[in-house]
Amino acid sequence: MSTGDQLTTRLKGKAASLHCMQIPSIALAPVTIKPLITAVLLLCACALAVGAPAKKTGKKKAKPRKVAHAVVTGPIYAQSPEAMQAADEMATRLALDPLWVRQTLGQAMRLPQVLKFILPPPPGTPKNWALYRSRFIDDKRISAGLKFWQDNQATLVRAEAQTGVPAEIIVGVLGVETIYGQQMGNFRVIDALATLAFDFPSQHPRAPERSAFFKAELEQFLLMTHRTQTDPMRLRGSYAGAMGMPQFMPSSWMKYAVDFDGDGRIDLFTSTADVIGSVANYFKLFNWQPGMPTHYSVSFDPQKLDKDALLAPDILPTFSVASFTAKGAVLQGTALQHAGPLALVELQNGNEPPSYVAGTDNFYAITRYNWSSYYAMAVIELAQSVARAMPAR
Ligand SMILES: [Ca+2]
């Protein structure tokens, strides 16, 4: 999952704003916050006093989840003047109790490993579609996708009827993101977001912009948990703060998630219907065109080829079929009748020759979920693989 930085970074809905915001309700019971705050602060204080890293063992989660690895924690943000000032500013903007925001944000811990994961690969590291593909298109994921599709067929049909987003694309996204909920991340979301908001690695080429992005996500997270009376210390997700089966960032949850099973709450952790409806809604709002292919195969006419011009707009569909082919791209069959704009998508293969496809508006829509053509192609190929494995529909 790439934002152009790293193929595993999840950043969705960057442009999400507060307008047309829904008030989601997530399926975690309200808790009493104050005793928990006290317990965590005491735990941290003890750990800091002896100079040892605080371990996240002070409380039990409501729902046991497989722990992939121990998370070593750092100091809490109550000790950071910058974080406490940000807490006051957030409280003002969101009209929340400043004490609650301070106490909540103050419990967040700095996670050194998050800072490591967020860094882009070293300069010169070749991208490799074949390698990337092999991580996501395998028998395990295809089998899990088949089961998910069969278990949720009626909901997928309903989502497709309402949004025009095909079942197979939703199945592809959820397979690539979390293997249908098997790998939803084990970082406390508030720790991950606070770490990236206040300690974003300065050596990153776009550190100020990214830090601002994560501050905004942290703010949305606090608003979301406050409105739904959910314990912000309980929610877990990716190292970048993405949550649930579809790995929605907080702003995306607030803006695009829907209650698709009609129980009055939005639950992207356990309600497959809410997950399916929300992913479909996300694509619909990012201009998914019902019935349009995601891409076409493409070859080149060496006599006319102007590859620099074709690659200049990157993955943004820009060229009509006429201008695309005039620059030396060769299309065949139904691609020649395509009505909308196209992009030449280049997928590098390490030291081997790149792969190319002609991406449509729907290819671009998938990259709005995760800003990477490699991600989009993996979603599409997993979708196709699962669709081929499905019995006749
Ligand atoms: Ca629901």
CA distance 371 to 312: 17
* Residue 376 belongs to a domain: no
What pLDDT, on a 0 to 100 scale, did the predictor assign at position 74?
Answer: 63
- C-alpha 171 – ligand 1 centre gap (Å): 19
177 is catalytic: yes
What pLDDT, on a 0 to 100 scale, did the predictor assign at position 137?
Answer: 97
Q: Give the torsion through C-alpha atoms of 73, 186, 84, 205, to 10 deg.
A: 90
Given 160, 168, 177, 219, which residue is catalytic? 177
Question: What is the domain-level CATH number for residue 190?
Answer: 1.10.8.350
What pLDDT, on a 0 to 100 scale, did the predictor assign at position 12?
Answer: 38
What pLDDT, on a 0 to 100 scale, did the predictor assign at position 42?
Answer: 35
First-to-last CA distance in the chain?
30
* Residue 234 belongs to a domain: yes
**Residue 141 burial (CB count, 10 A):** 21
**HSE-up of residue 286 (Cα within 13 Å, Cβ side):** 26
What pLDDT, on a 0 to 100 scale, did the predictor assign at position 126?
Answer: 86
What pLDDT, on a 0 to 100 scale, did the predictor assign at position 303?
Answer: 97
CA distance 162 to 149: 17
Sequential pLDDT tens for the chain (393 residues): 333 333 333 333 333 222 222 333 333 333 333 333 333 333 333 333 322 333 333 333 344 444 444 455 567 999 999 999 999 999 999 999 999 999 999 999 999 999 999 998 888 888 999 999 999 999 999 999 999 999 999 999 999 999 999 999 999 999 999 999 999 999 999 999 999 999 999 999 899 999 999 999 999 999 999 998 899 999 999 999 999 999 999 999 999 999 999 999 999 999 999 999 999 999 999 999 999 999 999 999 999 999 999 999 999 999 999 999 999 999 999 999 999 999 999 999 999 999 999 999 999 999 999 999 999 999 999 999 999 999 876
Instruction: Return residues with CB closer than 5 A to ligand 1 (ion).
Output: 259, 261, 263, 265, 271, 274
- C-alpha 276 – ligand 1 centre gap (Å): 11
Q: What is the pLDDT of residues 100-111, one digit of tens each?
A: 999 999 999 999
- C-alpha 266 – ligand 1 centre gap (Å): 4
* Residue 54 belongs to a domain: yes
Residue 139 Cα distances to 175, 223, 365, angstroms: 12, 40, 26
In the sheet with 352-359, reading across from the earlier edge strand, the strands are 295-297, 352-359, 343-349
* Residue 81 belongs to a domain: yes
What pLDDT, on a 0 to 100 scale, did the predictor assign at position 31?
Answer: 33
- C-alpha 23 – ligand 1 centre gap (Å): 12
What pLDDT, on a 0 to 100 scale, did the predictor assign at position 194?
Answer: 98
Contact assessment for residue 374 and residue 4, using Cβ atoms and an 8 Å cutoff: no
Tokens linked to 34: 């104050």
* Residue 102 belongs to a domain: yes
What pLDDT, on a 0 to 100 scale, did the predictor assign at position 148?
Answer: 98
Residue that is written with structure tokens 């995760």 in the block: 370
* Residue 261 belongs to a domain: yes
- C-alpha 259 – ligand 1 centre gap (Å): 4
CA distance 282 to 246: 11
* Residue 190 belongs to a domain: yes
- C-alpha 28 – ligand 1 centre gap (Å): 12
Our count of domains for the chain comes to 1
**HSE-up of residue 347 (Cα within 13 Å, Cβ side):** 21
Residue that is written with structure tokens 């047309």 in the block: 20
What pLDDT, on a 0 to 100 scale, did the predictor assign at position 71?
Answer: 52
* Residue 346 belongs to a domain: no
Residue that is written with structure tokens 């099973």 in the block: 261
**Domain of residue 77, residue span:** 33-123+183-285
- C-alpha 156 – ligand 1 centre gap (Å): 15
What pLDDT, on a 0 to 100 scale, did the predictor assign at position 141?
Answer: 97
- C-alpha 362 – ligand 1 centre gap (Å): 27
- C-alpha 269 – ligand 1 centre gap (Å): 10
Contact assessment for residue 189 and residue 113, using Cβ atoms and an 8 Å cutoff: no
